[in-house]
Structure formats: structure tokens, C-alpha cells
């Protein structure tokens, strides 16, 4: 006579214990994976902005020490342009950045805007811009020369900004009706952002690290 085989089974308590352990492991692993992904994106963005900063240097060397203008648009007396398809600094730097993807990897923008250079998430320091008067009373955008910047290792050349912004003379922390609900460029990466400086180096900073006008100690935007 055969002895009946004993069928093994889990009790409800054992099943709940296993599920609790799995849940705990997921709670530990998922944030770590997410954090690693964000850190990788921050490093990619830092590399991008460093390369863009080097492109600015190459441009100034080719144009007698003059920085690229934020835009080549014709402006009225209020600083507004209604021109379309006007070249901006992105276009002027393309000969130096053709092989680069300038888009910040964590920037979330609609697909129909993804190909527009002004929606890549970076801006030029607008303090480098000048206005050249025309006989009509309007202006065209110009740019300062390298002699304008005395503190090259502290002065920002390129910074992270919200999509659609091409020029800023401060960290991107202000409010804008067009950007409600969109993460400010200055806090895009762990409460800070990447910045490229006039001397060619790039570094992550928090908004509080900056002074608007250069004091010789903190990173800055304006020379005066």
C-alpha cells in the first residue's frame, strides 16, 4: 500500500510575508534606479553644455573676439521683434556643434517642438548682447567682445533654461505665465543646473551660488 504524498502549500501568512519582502525590495531598488537615471542625465547635460561653451570660444576666435549675439533679429524701441525664421546663437554655433545633440536629456517638450533649436533647454548669457541703432530708429542685435569680460572663470556663458528661452542674464528661477507647471531651468538637476563659463569649464551649481554682478568671488552674469 502506497503512502499518500504530502502536498506542500504556503500559508496565507507566508504569502503575505513574501509579498511584503518583495514590496520592500522594490521600494529600495526603484528609487535607486531612478536616481541613477537622473544622475546619468545630469552628466550628459553637463557634457553637452561644456561642448556648447567650447563652441562659444571657437566662435569668438573666428570673429575677432566677439561673442555670438543672442539673436540676429531687428528690434523695435521696446526690444521686440516680429520677424520669423531669424537666426539666433544656436544657428551661429552650428558650424562648431554639428555632431552634438544640444537637448537636455530630461527636458520634457512636445514632439512637434523637439526639432526647434530654441526648445533644447539652453540659453546664452544675455548680458553679452548689445543693440546697434539703425537709421529707422530700430535696432539690430549685436554682441560684446572678450574684453568685456574680466572674470572669465566666474562669468556664465551658457546656462540651462526652460524650453523656448534663448537668452537670460540670470538663473532661470523667475515666474513666467507661459511656463506654468514647467520645471525652471535653474533647478532641473537635483535642485541645481549646469553652467558653462567663459573660460571653457562647466559645472553644476545651485541658484543661491550666484551673484548677479560679478564680485570676484561667486559665479555671476554681469560685469557691472
Q: What is the pLDDT of residues 40-90, one digit of tens each?
A: 888 999 999 999 999 999 999 999 999 999 887 776 666 555 556 567 898
pLDDT at residue 180 is higher than 70: no
Q: Quick one: pLDDT band at residue 7, thresholds 50, 70, 90?
A: low
Which tens digit of pLDDT belongs to each residue from 90-133? Answer: 889 999 987 666 788 887 665 555 556 666 889 999 999 888 88
Delimit the domains of the chain by residue range.
12-222
How far is the CA of 15 from the CAs of 45, 107, 168, in angstroms? 45, 42, 57
For the whole model, what pTM was predicted? Answer: 0.78
Q: What is residue 110's predicted lDDT score, i.e. its pLDDT?
A: 58
Which tens digit of pLDDT belongs to each residue from 141-155? Answer: 889 999 999 999 999
Distance, in Å, from the CA atom of 117 to the CA atom of 107, rounded to the nearest integer, reads 13
Contacts of 191 (CB under 8 A, 6+ apart): 206
Distance, CA of 85 to chain centre: 23
Q: What is residue 76's predicted lDDT score, i.e. its pLDDT?
A: 65
Q: What is residue 107's predicted lDDT score, i.e. its pLDDT?
A: 77
Amino acid at each position: 500500500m502506497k503512502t499518500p504524498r504530502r502536498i506542500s502549500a504556503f500559508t496565507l501568512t507566508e504569502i503575505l510575508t513574501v509579498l511584503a519582502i518583495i514590496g520592500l525590495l522594490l521600494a529600495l531598488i526603484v528609487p535607486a534606479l531612478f536616481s541613477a537615471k537622473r544622475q546619468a542625465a545630469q552628466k550628459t547635460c553637463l557634457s553637452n553644455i561644456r561642448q556648447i561653451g567650447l563652441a562659444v570660444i571657437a566662435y569668438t576666435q573666428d570673429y575677432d573676439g566677439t561673442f555670438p549675439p543672442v539673436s540676429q533679429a531687428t528690434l523695435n524701441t521696446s526690444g521686440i521683434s516680429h520677424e520669423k525664421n531669424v537666426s539666433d546663437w544656436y544657428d551661429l554655433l552650428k558650424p562648431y556643434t554639428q555632431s552634438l545633440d544640444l537637448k537636455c536629456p530630461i527636458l520634457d517638450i512636445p514632439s512637434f517642438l523637439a526639432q526647434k533649436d530654441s526648445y533644447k533647454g539652453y540659453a546664452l548669457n544675455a548680458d553679452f548682447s548689445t543693440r546697434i541703432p539703425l537709421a529707422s530708429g530700430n535696432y539690430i542685435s549685436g554682441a560684446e567682445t572678450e574684453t568685456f569680460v574680466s572674470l572669465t572663470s566666474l562669468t556664465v556663458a551658457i546656462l540651462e533654461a526652460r524650453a523656448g528661452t534663448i537668452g537670460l542674464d540670470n538663473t532661470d528661477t523667475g515666474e513666467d505665465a507661459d511656463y506654468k507647471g514647467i520645471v525652471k531651468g535653474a533647478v532641473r538637476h537635483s535642485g541645481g543646473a549646469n553652467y558653462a563659463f567663459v573660460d571653457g569649464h562647466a559645472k553644476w551649481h545651485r541658484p543661491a551660488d550666484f551673484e548677479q554682478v560679478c564680485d570676484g568671488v561667486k559665479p555671476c552674469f554681469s560685469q557691472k
